[in-house]
Amino acid sequence: MPIKSLYLENFRLFKSKKINLSGDKTLILGKNGSGKTTILECFEILFSGKSFRSKNSIECVAYGEDFFKVDALGHLAGEELRLSVSKTTTGRIVAKRMLALKKIKTNEVPLFQVVLAKHLRMVEGEPELRRDFMNRLMFHVKPDVNKLFTGYQKALSQRNRALRKKLPPAEIQIWTERLIDLGMLLSKEQHDFFRAFKEASLSYVEGECKNEGLDYLRGVDLHFVSGWETSKTMKKAYQDSLPKDMALGYTSQGPHKQDFVFSVDKKRAASQLSRGQLKMLILLIFLSTNDVINSFSPSESVLMVDDITSELDEGNIDVILSIISRAKSQVLVTAIKGSYLDDTSKNLTEFKKINL
């Protein structure tokens, strides 16, 4: 299990709080405003150094205090894992990640993912949700692609700047050529990773559909969208889109527009499934990512789901808890105190309950 305990000091509404996670599966119950989502935010900051609620981490400092600190203790590959993040109101955020008392990089810690309300729109919502999801996975197992992506983004920014300023085509072409060089490499990496992701995730979804009788998810498929007209060379695609790009002031095609589409029985999933069924599909996709990363190399992961009961009826809540109880990754879920999970013990035998 990656994380065994969490300690918060001066973090939002918590002056001092220690949480022990004795098992791989944890359920946190609390009323609205009790700090359930704040606990998930702490984990996000520990693993990534960023908050999903605030762009500026100074907002996480408790009112009237001048610093916050978050610590976690766990194990990874049989070695002790220590994560620590602190922030003062006048200084930068400081992160320390240690495995067996040796410093490790961010991509060497377990993969951390959190499922928030916005992610429940991942099937039918804006492409950025799917791109961010895919990039997080890809960069974790292929750190070199992250470097390639950063270089591509810098070239893209320069080309967009040239387009906005309406610089001569010859100057725009300089950045276009750089974008093409990096874009061809990036597009291949994206497509190769997508194939591995698709194989592992659909195999997982199919297996759980059989286990739980989720007939409405039979025939689920994923389709890659490259972000540019693959019937043309990338150079030709950029040439043909130049008038449009100059009018828009930004680059309308390229690997930065990469996407993927969900379907069920060859029809768009968003038009075939109910809200509850879409949430089940999204949760299964997130749960499948442990299999995805392990298809590249042995690894561990942590998944956190905020408000597990929203948009699910009691039957589907029991189903997803049953699936989570079998998950190979560490999973922490939150729910509102007084909800269905307060009264049921079915499928919760594997979960440690924590009341806030």
Q: Are residues 43 and 87 in the same domain?
A: yes
Domain C-terminal end among 278, 299, 320: 299
118 is a domain residue? no
Q: Mean pLDDT per segment of 10 residues, for the chain of length 356 residues? A: 91 94 87 91 91 89 94 92 94 92 87 93 94 95 95 97 94 94 96 97 96 92 93 92 94 95 94 94 96 92 93 90 92 85 70 89
Number of domains comprising the chain: 2
Q: Are residues 177 and 190 in the same domain?
A: yes
Q: Are residues 161 and 28 in the same domain?
A: no
Burial of residue 225 (CB within 10 Å: 0-12, 13-18, 19+) is: middle
Q: Are residues 229 and 321 in the same domain?
A: no
Q: Which CATH number covers residue 213?
A: 1.20.1050.90
Q: Are residues 278 and 319 in the same domain?
A: no
Decide the pairing of beta strands 259-264 and 220-225: antiparallel
Q: Are residues 309 and 350 in the same domain?
A: yes
116 is a domain residue? no
Q: Which helix (H) or strand (E) holds 336?
A: strand 330-336
Q: State both tokens at 5.
A: 């305990």
Q: Are residues 233 and 131 in the same domain?
A: yes
Q: Are residues 287 and 145 in the same domain?
A: yes
Q: Are residues 335 and 274 in the same domain?
A: no
Q: Are residues 154 and 250 in the same domain?
A: yes
Give the per-residue pLDDT at 329.
92
Q: Are residues 340 and 273 in the same domain?
A: no
d(CA 230, CA 86): 46
Torsion angles phi and psi, residue 6, rounded to 5: -135, 135
Q: Which CATH number covers residue 53?
A: 3.40.50.300
Give the per-residue pLDDT at 345.
55
Q: Are residues 227 and 206 in the same domain?
A: yes
Burial of residue 33 (CB within 10 Å: 0-12, 13-18, 19+) is: exposed
69 is a domain residue? yes
Task: Write out the residue range of the structural domain in which residue 352 sits.
Answer: 1-110+302-356
Q: What are the angstrom distances between the C-alpha of 25 and each of 14, 144, 170, 325, 327? A: 23, 32, 58, 7, 9
117 is a domain residue? no
Burial of residue 242 (CB within 10 Å: 0-12, 13-18, 19+) is: middle
